[in-house]
Amino acid sequence: MSFAFGIGIGSQNNQGEWLEVYYQQPIMTPGKDLIDVVETALDYKGGNQAIEAGAEQLSQFANALRQLGQTEQARLAEQAANSKRPVVVTVLATDDTASSTPEVYLKLHLISHRLARPHTLKLDGIFGLLPNLAWTNEGAIDLNELPERQLQARIEGRTLEVKSVDKFPQMTDYVVPKGVRIADTSRVRLGAYVGEGTTVMHEGFINFNAGTEGTSMIEGRISAGVIIGKGSDLGGGCSTMGTLSGGGNIIISVGENCLLGANAGIGIPLGDRCTVEAGLYITAGTKVNLLDDNNDLVEVIKARDLAGKNDLLFRRNSLTGAVECKTNKTAIELNEELHANN
């Protein structure tokens, strides 16, 4: 059994190099019968391959898929046969390091379609396979070809709007998961995992290979690799330290029913029902005064020693400035009506 499969429609530059690929219905662990059809119709030789397919091949592929009972994939292949853009059929036999842009895009789609959770796919080496592109109102454009496209648009009486210059596109141009609210779609990258019931407000940000497990209010930054548990609230301007920006090999996560106050931040994983007060940034090496129920000092420890523990309240002493930690007696409950995304 293979690892993943997808029929994609993408963009190429003038040299025929892939810029990006859209997979409407990728499949995890496709059956052997489907892969057998790929071998017959598209000359698939095994392994991880991105097979560029023409109209005639795709029509034959669609007929074979329909005979197999793969109605939805057959429909996709039929529609792709009429595409004005290049079509690629990507098969991943295993979750090895990607070797092509279509392979990377398939993996990012699997996460955003909620078919694979963050940290479950091998994503090392993807940056070298993701070209830095101009993301415009006319799609992805190679930066070397952008000036000519801008000039041509002006000549034709149009304005070519460049929305961003980046390796990653916004997720919603490719995937809109069920049951979410995203106020500013440019702030959620393809490859984000946005759990059902999540609300991402204007200042919220979700990077690739990161996201939320379920109902959450996101008004802060979820960096690459960070997972937020159900019922947690990330206040305005707060930050989570990602594995790409100083977190090292530590996987930062936030448990269920936690609260990160406005402009707070964490560099350690939090357990369930934890609170970090507004404006307080905790790194692994932060010295923390551990207090008992009488607010008496028990010991001074580093924040890393509290990583993953439940029911903690982190605060800063307003008199001394010392960071303190107590057992959190109150759990954060999100307003059910406010966070209904259906």
Domain spans of the chain? Answer: 4-129, 134-166, 171-327
Out of 20, 103, 219, 324, pick the active-site residue: 219
The response to whether 317 counts as a known ligand-binding position is yes
CATH superfamily of 134-166: Trimeric LpxA-like enzymes (3.30.60.70)
HSE (CB half, 13 Å, CA atoms) of 333?
5
Per-residue pLDDT of the chain (342 residues; tens, 9 = 90+): 689 999 999 999 999 999 999 999 999 999 999 999 999 999 999 999 999 999 999 999 999 999 999 999 999 999 999 999 999 999 999 999 999 999 999 999 999 999 999 999 999 999 999 999 999 999 999 999 999 999 999 999 999 999 999 999 999 999 999 999 999 999 999 999 999 999 999 999 999 999 999 999 999 999 999 999 999 999 999 999 986 544 456 789 999 999 999 999 999 999 999 999 999 999 999 999 999 888 889 999 999 999 999 999 999 999 999 999 998 765 445 555 545 666
Name which of 122, 142, 127, 129 is nearest 50 in CA terms.
Answer: 129
**Fold of the domain built from segment(s) 4-129:** Alpha-Beta Plaits (3.30.70)
219 is catalytic: yes
How far apart are alpha carbons 195 and 82 in whole angstroms?
34
- Lateral strand order in the sheet of 312-316: 181-182, 199-200, 217-218, 233-234, 259-260, 275-276, 312-316, 323-327, 287-291, 297-302
The response to whether 221 counts as a known ligand-binding position is yes
The response to whether 56 counts as a known ligand-binding position is no
The response to whether 114 counts as a known ligand-binding position is no
The number of angstroms, rounded, from the C-alpha of 108 to the middle of its chain's C-alpha atoms is: 7
**Fold of the domain built from segment(s) 171-327:** UDP N-Acetylglucosamine Acyltransferase; domain 1 (2.160.10)
Two structure tokens written together for 40 = 């017959």
The response to whether 278 counts as a known ligand-binding position is yes
The response to whether 315 counts as a known ligand-binding position is yes
